[in-house]
Amino acid sequence: MHPVQCDRALSRQLGVGAVTAFVIGQVIAVGIFLTPASMARSLGSPAWLLLVWLVMGGMALSGALCYGELAARFPEAGGGYVYLREAYGPRVAFLYGWKCLLVMDPGITAALATGLASYVGYVVPLSTGAHKAVAIAAIIALAMVSVAGVRVGARLIEWLTALKIAALLFIAVMAVALRAGDWSNFAPFVAQRAGSDPLPGAFAPAFVGAFFAFGGWWETGKLAGEARDPARTLPRALAIGVSAVTLIYILSSAVFVYLVPLEHVTSGETFAAQAGEALFGRAGGVVFAIIVIVAVLGSLLTLLMALPRVYFAMARDGVFVRQAAAVHPRFGTPARATAIQAVLASVLVASGTFEQIVSYFVFITVLFVGLTVASLFVLRRHGGVPAYATPAFPLTPLIFLTLTAALLILLAGHGPLQAALGVAIVTLGAPVYSLTFRTQPKKARLNDLDPDHPAV
DSSP string, 93-135: HHHHHHHIIIIIHHHHHHHHHHHHHHHHHHHS---HHHHHHHH
Average confidence (pLDDT) over 145-151: 71
- Is the pLDDT higher at 196 or at 317? 196
**What is the predicted pLDDT for the residue at 358?**
57
Residue 244, Cβ density class (10 Å: 0-12 exposed, 13-18 middle, ≥19 buried): middle
Q: Which of 396, 13, 22 is nearest to 240 (CA)?
A: 22
Domains of the chain in start order, with CATH, are: 16-439 (1.20.1740.10)
- Report helix angle 395-414 to 416-427, nearest 10: 110
Q: Which of 8, 4, 21, 15 is nearest to 245 (CA)?
A: 21
For the chain, the C-alpha Rg in angstroms (whole number) is 22
Residue 274 — very low, low, confident or very high, per pLDDT cuts 50/70/90? low
pTM beyond 0.85: no
Question: How many C-beta atoms lie closer than 10 Å to residue 329's C-beta?
Answer: 13
CA angle 225, 231, 237 (to 5 degrees): 85
- Residue 270, pLDDT > 50, answer no
- Residue 327 backbone dihedrals phi, psi, to 5 degrees: -110, 130
> From the centroid of its chain, how far is CA 390?
21
**Amino acid identity, position 206:** A
Q: Which of 294, 257, 57 is nearest to 166 (CA)?
A: 294
Structure confidence by residue, pLDDT tens digits, 213-223:
887 777 666 56
Average confidence (pLDDT) over 30-37: 70
CB 72 within 8 A of CB 231: yes
**What is the predicted pLDDT for the residue at 201?**
76
Q: Which of 168, 160, 166 is nearest to 301 (CA)?
A: 160
Residue 433 — very low, low, confident or very high, per pLDDT cuts 50/70/90? confident
Structure confidence by residue, pLDDT tens digits, 81-122:
888 989 998 889 889 888 887 778 887 888 888 878 877 887
Percent of the chain with pLDDT over 90: 10
The residues pairing with 227 across neighbouring beta strands, listed in sequence order, are: 14
- Look at the alpha carbons of 245, 251, 253, 259 in this order and tell me if their dihedral is positive or negative: negative
- Is the pLDDT higher at 395 or at 4? 395
Average confidence (pLDDT) over 243-262: 85
Distances (CA, A) of 195 to 40, 65, 227, 264, 326: 11, 39, 49, 11, 56
